[in-house]
Chains A and B, each alone.
Chain A
Amino acid sequence: MTTLKKLTHKQWFAVLVLVIGIIIIWYIAALVMNGNQMINMLERTGQSWTYTQIFEGAYGIQRPPLPVPHQVAYELYDSIFNNAITSKRSLLYHTQITLNSTLLGFILGSLLGIIIAIGIVHNRTLDTSLMPWVIASQTVPILAIAPIVVVVLGSMNLTGILPKAIISMYLSFFPVVIGMVKGLRSADKLHTELMITYNASTQQMFWKLRWFSAQPYLFASLKIGIAAALVGAIVAELPTGAQGGLGARLLSGSYYGQTVQIWSALVMSALLGWVLITLVGLAERFILLRRGIS
């Protein structure tokens, strides 16, 4: 009893229970959806069927409406370990293409966001004139913007990683602006007054106080920003007929009804997102702890 109680209080236990629950629901849903499709197919061709037949077949059919976890896991394993990393059949090859434009877009977006935020907190005109545009930029559907960016940059002979990175940047600069504006304005009142008594210049105020006060906010924004950059990179690969990348993999999967391929690309992009956010989180802990901020 007590051991069970102790167990239920452990975080990993809760996570495990949740994962098992999701997998069970997944297999049941797959049985229903894939089973129905099988029945339709068999009835159309006038064949008779039994429930055992359906039960056995539901988890093995080609292009199932809902692939089950072990199918996706096998596809992931197969494409990663049975293909060279340079092969177009390797999911790692596509992941690395998406990762490159994600990182470039994230770096550009973060820099742009920080610069815009610095402008906004130091200049009233920029605050009132720029902020509405920053917000408006995010209300435009990225799917509508992406082809335009690609076409316009393409006409300027800019192709490859840059158009995709710019779309990533477009999504990732926004949380950085919002977080940094808040962060740069979050400097402790007492610290600010102390700096006033020292007759500190605006630059000293920024580099010695505001920049540090903003860092917890910056890292929170960077975590959202890197996830947004990944979404941007994938979305940018969709309408452009890109040959490589997780987005291209998703698109070609849906063209040919390769649901297992779609799901494995999906799982891979989720994993990539998790790794990227974790890395930002580690950098946050390392830097803020060392500086005694958190």
Chain B
Amino acid sequence: MQAVETLTEITREPRSHRQMIAIDKLSLVFETNDGPVHALSDIDLTIHEGDFVSFIGPSGCGKTTLLRVIADLEQPTGGEIQVGGTSPEDARLNRLYGYVFQAPALFPWRSIASNCALPMEISAQPKTHRNAQIDKYLGMVGLQDFKHKFPWQLSGGMQQRASIARALCLEPELLLMDEPFGALDEITRDHLNMELLKIWKATGKTVVFVTHSIPEAVLLSTHIVVMSPRPGRIVKVIKSPLPRDKTLALRDTQAFTALAAEIRQALATDHQID
């Protein structure tokens, strides 16, 4: 507790060494009619500022639940968690993070620009600033020409890009993404992966990314957290040896294949298919 507090004080420390998320022996048990379900068990994890961390694992391993705990959308039943040096609730109240859901979750009665304006309206930012941010980030995701369109006039991939722009408009320190490209076709997905990498490099934000695609995790991450179900837990944390500057061509290299194999192995050793 105290250690984390002092860490936030040291502003001169290099950005990449400051802790963004510190999780200690965290557990979450859902009480159901069929008895307790151990969604998360004994989670220890530290994520530093500027990291791109992927949670990967089969369904039911608690990767989304863990992300929701970080976002204060679920309450842990045991252990400690700090987000940006405070509790997840304070982090949420201070609007420290931006959350991108699996579905775009755009409001159908608002135009794309107006959807992006929503979080800034709520945090009472002036209109001129809102408009500048909207132009900047819609441009960054390549939707500047669609700002006056409504969500239903856009394809699924474009809608998801709009939802990412909406999260970026607040310029949060931390970007939490729950399988944001899970529902998209592979071509769109490749494209958006590269876009996301570009944005991450340009802004230097911390990203926590939930996925069940091994290539996606390898392509994007600096750290890969391999998880396993029943009870939901961390099997292995792999630090990527790949450079931060990545291209799609990287996928054909030996290093990429080796890392993918390591993840696959970590998933297999602990996951019996029953």
Query: Which residues of A line the B interface, CB within 8 A?
Result: 188, 190-191, 193-201, 204, 208-209, 212, 291-293
Q: Are A204 and B122 in contact (CB under 8 A)?
A: yes
Chain A binder among B96-104, B204-212, B236-244: B96-104
A195 partner residues in chain B, CB cutoff 8 A: 122
Contacts A197-B73, A197-B99, A293-B108 known; list 9 others, CB within 8 Å.
Answer: A188-B105, A193-B99, A204-B122, A208-B118, A209-B107, A292-B109, A292-B150, A292-B151, A292-B152
**Assembly CA distance A90 to B150 (angstroms):** 50
| Pairs across A and B, CB under 8 Å, 10 listed | A191-B107, A193-B101, A196-B92, A197-B98, A198-B119, A199-B94, A200-B122, A204-B121, A208-B121, A292-B109
B94 partner residues in chain A, CB cutoff 8 A: 199
A212 partner residues in chain B, CB cutoff 8 A: 107, 109
From residue A206, how far is it (CB to closest CB) to chain B in Å?
12
Q: Which positions 98-144 of chain B face chain A at CB distance < 8 Å?
A: 98-99, 101, 103, 105, 107-109, 118-119, 121-123
**Assembly CA distance A201 to B93 (angstroms):** 11
**Assembly CA distance A197 to B101 (angstroms):** 11
**Assembly CA distance A201 to B95 (angstroms):** 13
From residue A217, how far is it (CB to closest CB) to chain B in Å?
14
If the complex has contacts A193-B73, A208-B121, A292-B151, are A199 and B109 also in contact, measured as CB distance less than 8 A? no
Q: Are B105 and A208 in contact (CB under 8 A)?
A: no
Q: B71 in the interface, Cβ–Cβ < 8 Å? A: yes
Q: Are A191 and B99 in contact (CB under 8 A)?
A: no
**Assembly CA distance A209 to B118 (angstroms):** 10
Q: Are A197 and B71 in contact (CB under 8 A)?
A: yes
Q: Are B152 and A199 in contact (CB under 8 A)?
A: no
Query: Which residues of B line the A interface, CB within 8 A?
Result: 71, 73, 92-95, 97-99, 101, 103, 105, 107-109, 118-119, 121-123, 150-152
Interface of A, secondary structure class, is helix
Q: Which 7 A-B pairs have the closest CB atoms?
A: A291-B109, A190-B105, A292-B150, A197-B99, A292-B108, A198-B122, A198-B119
Q: How many A-B residue pairs have CB under 8 A?
A: 52
Closest to B103 in A: A190
**Assembly CA distance A159 to B108 (angstroms):** 46
From residue B168, how far is it (CB to closest CB) to chain A in Å?
14
If the complex has contacts A199-B93, A208-B122, A291-B109, are A194 and B151 also in contact, measured as CB distance less than 8 A? no
B108 partner residues in chain A, CB cutoff 8 A: 291-293
Closest to B150 in A: A292
**Assembly CA distance A204 to B117 (angstroms):** 13
**Assembly CA distance A204 to B124 (angstroms):** 11
- Contacting A194 at CB < 8 Å: which of B95, B101, B109, B123? B101
Q: Are A190 and B101 in contact (CB under 8 A)?
A: yes
A209 partner residues in chain B, CB cutoff 8 A: 107
From residue A112, how far is it (CB to closest CB) to chain B in Å?
25
A197 partner residues in chain B, CB cutoff 8 A: 71, 73, 92, 97-99
Q: Are B73 and A196 in contact (CB under 8 A)?
A: yes
B95 partner residues in chain A, CB cutoff 8 A: 198-199
From residue B96, how far is it (CB to closest CB) to chain A in Å?
10
**Assembly CA distance A201 to B121 (angstroms):** 12
From residue B150, how far is it (CB to closest CB) to chain A in Å?
4
A198 partner residues in chain B, CB cutoff 8 A: 95, 118-119, 122-123
Closest to A201 in B: B122
B107 partner residues in chain A, CB cutoff 8 A: 191, 208-209, 212
B103 partner residues in chain A, CB cutoff 8 A: 190
A204 partner residues in chain B, CB cutoff 8 A: 121-122
**Assembly CA distance A191 to B106 (angstroms):** 8
A196 partner residues in chain B, CB cutoff 8 A: 73, 92
**Assembly CA distance A201 to B122 (angstroms):** 8
**Assembly CA distance A293 to B110 (angstroms):** 10
